[in-house]
Amino acid sequence: MITIYGSPNSSAGRCFWCLEEVGAKYEIKPINFREQEHKSPAYLKINPNGKVPALTDGDFSIWESMAINFYLGETYRPELLGKDAKTRGLIQQWSFWALAELQVPIIEIFIQLVFVPEEKRVATVIEKAQAKLPGLLSILETSLNNKRFLVGDEFSLADLNVASVVLICLAIKYDLSIYGNISNWLANISSRPAFKKYQEMRK
């Protein structure tokens, strides 16, 4: 039995979406940070970082959201990872780019706007992060020219992993409307039953 540790509204969100895409049965184990559950000996055995997400599948445990998603794809729906080495390489390329490049400034803004009290926010942090986004989003926008999906003709983990980062822009009220390809791509992905179920869990 699969157990996912964390909340759909946390950084575990993309893993909940992936679980729905692969169709695996799972149970949810919320982690109460106020009660320091993430630092309990039992949880640290599963994720020594004391963070979410983490996932167990029988006696196997894994942490880091992207790694979890690749494990789920490989184990329960391999077609999400591509049918050949070139496709798999591109899916990994976009997934790692989303995490290492695009997510960094978005999360910097998110932290300032969501977790830092207004009177303590650092305007220069927000401004510097916002200045990075047009260039990064333009890379994605150009790559989606005349395409429904990022890699090939089918939905893949590249779409899920990258979209899970881009969608954080909605939480920080960053205007994506000028990016027509990205907007169409997100609308296409948002119609998927797995995505809709994941969104329902976030309410």
Q: What angle do CA 51, 62, 19 make, to 5 degrees?
A: 95
Q: What is the pLDDT of residue 10?
A: 87
Element (H, E) at 60: strand 60-63
Domain borders along the chain are 2-79, 82-192
Supply 134's token pair. 């047009």
Tell me the sheet residues that pair with 29. 5
CATH superfamily ID and name for 2-79: Glutaredoxin (3.40.30.10)
Question: Could you tell me if 160 and 21 are in contact, meaning their C-beta atoms sit under 8 angstroms apart?
Answer: yes
Element (H, E) at 3: strand 2-5
- Domain 82-192, CATH: 1.20.1050.10
Say how many C-beta atoms besides its own lie within 10 A of residue 153's C-beta. Answer: 8
pLDDT in tens, 86-123: 999 999 999 999 999 999 999 999 999 999 999 999 99
Q: Which whole number is the average pLDDT over 129-139?
A: 97
Whether this model's pTM surpasses 0.85: yes
pLDDT in tens, 30-79: 999 999 999 999 999 999 999 999 999 999 999 999 999 999 999 999 99
Task: Provide the percentage of residues in the chain whose pLDDT is more than 90.
Answer: 97
